[in-house]
Amino acid sequence: MPTQLLFTRILNAHFAAPVDALLRTLHVHPTYPEAPMTNAFAMELLVFCGLLLYFVVVRLSLQVEKPTTVQNFAEMTHEFVSGQAESIIGHGYQRFLSYLTVLGMFILLSNLMGLVPGLASPTADAVVPLGFAILTFLYYHYHGVRVNGWRYVKQFLGPVWWLAWLLLPIEIISHLARMLSLTVRLYANMLAGGLVTLAFFSLIPVFVPIPFMILHLLVALVQAFVFMALAMSYLSLSTSHDH
Amino acid sequence: MRTLQYIFMTLSALLLATPAFAQGSGDAASIYAPLAAGIGMGIASGLCGIGQGKAIASSSEAVARNPGARPAIFLFLMLGLAFIESLALFTFVIIYLFVK
């Protein structure tokens, strides 16, 4: 049995049987049938529910005369994301705002969860950032094909036709490496931040870990921003028209 | 010159002898793995520090010269730092995954 957080234990105590049945229909056999849900999954579910609740509350409390605190916060987020998207993607950025905002907020909330006692960062598990990276990869290729049509393939062939045989494998590898680097950057940052705090906590448990927790807080904010900004720049590269 | 020759001879003898010592307590690779991890991580984070320092130095110089370009410079600085940092983090992940 792996060590489980409180929320994971509650989930596994109530929903282990239906989740096992679902996994069996997909031909997946969990290592621990009595605890099929990992900590990362439980934390992701928590973030998902929190964000859903937040967006529902924002939508219900929207008003022009007297904006509430929640609405002010949502407007601030929207202004920040759309400002960055306009400066990176440029014309036609509005279409991607919903995905980018949700991606940024999901990662930010996941990163910050590691600082709360009793919760863990789901992004410190390699599969969660991999999921974000694969989704971003599929998203920007979809929009590249949507905007450029069949001419999107020309982006992979380089500037001149007689170098295409050399540049096509290089471009394919570099696009796959984007996925790897997005994953490893977020995962390793979150894991390393937690490990450093833990190491100093095991040396001197009073006051000394606090600077490292503050550093981890800054890293959590910056990494969420960086993931979002990189998704924006990949989108801008794939949807740009070559003239 | 003669002293140096003796020193190198002693060192080569020691280097030849270490596999013999290591055979007593299991695999030789597992003994040197933590040492390699420490040296590798030291090189990676030191060079990463130099790279990030150069990036931050030139970006703060750029902001001092042209404060109007602050948002664009900030964006490039953040992306650049993330790219530089990820190289050190690759080393960290390899160490974390392969060194027990």
Chain-wide mean pLDDT for chain A? Answer: 90
A132 and A47 fall within a common domain: yes
The pLDDT of residue B33 is above 90:
no
Domain region containing A13: 1-37
Domain range summary for chain B, segments of one domain joined by +:
33-100
Inter-chain residue contact B82 with A223, CB threshold 8 Å = yes
B79 touching A (Cβ < 8 Å): yes
* A121-160 per-position pLDDT tens digit: 999 988 999 999 999 999 999 999 999 888 888 888 878 8
* A162-190 per-position pLDDT tens digit: 888 899 999 999 999 999 999 999 999 99
Report residue B29 CA to chain centroid gap: 20
In sequence order, the 6+-apart residues with CB closer than 8 A to the CB of A76 are: none
Q: Closest partner residue to A87 among B71, B78, B83, by Cβ?
A: B71
Whole-number pLDDT of residue A151: 86
User: What span, in angstroms and rounded, lies between the C-alpha atoms of A223 and A48?
Assistant: 19
Report residue A163 CA to chain centroid gap: 36
B92 touching A (Cβ < 8 Å): yes
Instruction: Quote the number of domains for chain A.
Output: 2
The confidence band for B27, taking pLDDT boundaries of 50, 70 and 90, is low
A10 and A86 fall within a common domain: no
The confidence band for B13, taking pLDDT boundaries of 50, 70 and 90, is low
Q: For residue A185, which residues of chain B lie inside 8 Å, CB to CB?
A: 82, 85-86, 89
A21 and A51 fall within a common domain: no
Query: Could you tell me the pTM of the whole model?
Result: 0.83
* A186-232 per-position pLDDT tens digit: 999 999 888 888 888 899 888 888 988 998 999 999 999 999 999 99
A4 and A73 fall within a common domain: no
The confidence band for B24, taking pLDDT boundaries of 50, 70 and 90, is very low
> Which of B70, B73, B76, B92 to mutate to probe the A interface, most A CBs <10 Å?
B92
Choose among A234, A239, A224: nearest CA to A103: A224
Q: Which two tokens stand for residue A100?
A: 């980018």
Q: For residue B72, which residues of chain A lie inside 8 Å, CB to CB?
A: 87
The pLDDT of residue A75 is above 50:
yes
The fold of B33-100 is F1FO ATP Synthase (1.20.20)
A56 and A84 fall within a common domain: yes
A11 and A62 fall within a common domain: no
Cα angle B25-B42-A193, degrees, rounded to a multiple of 5: 100
Whole-number pLDDT of residue A29: 83
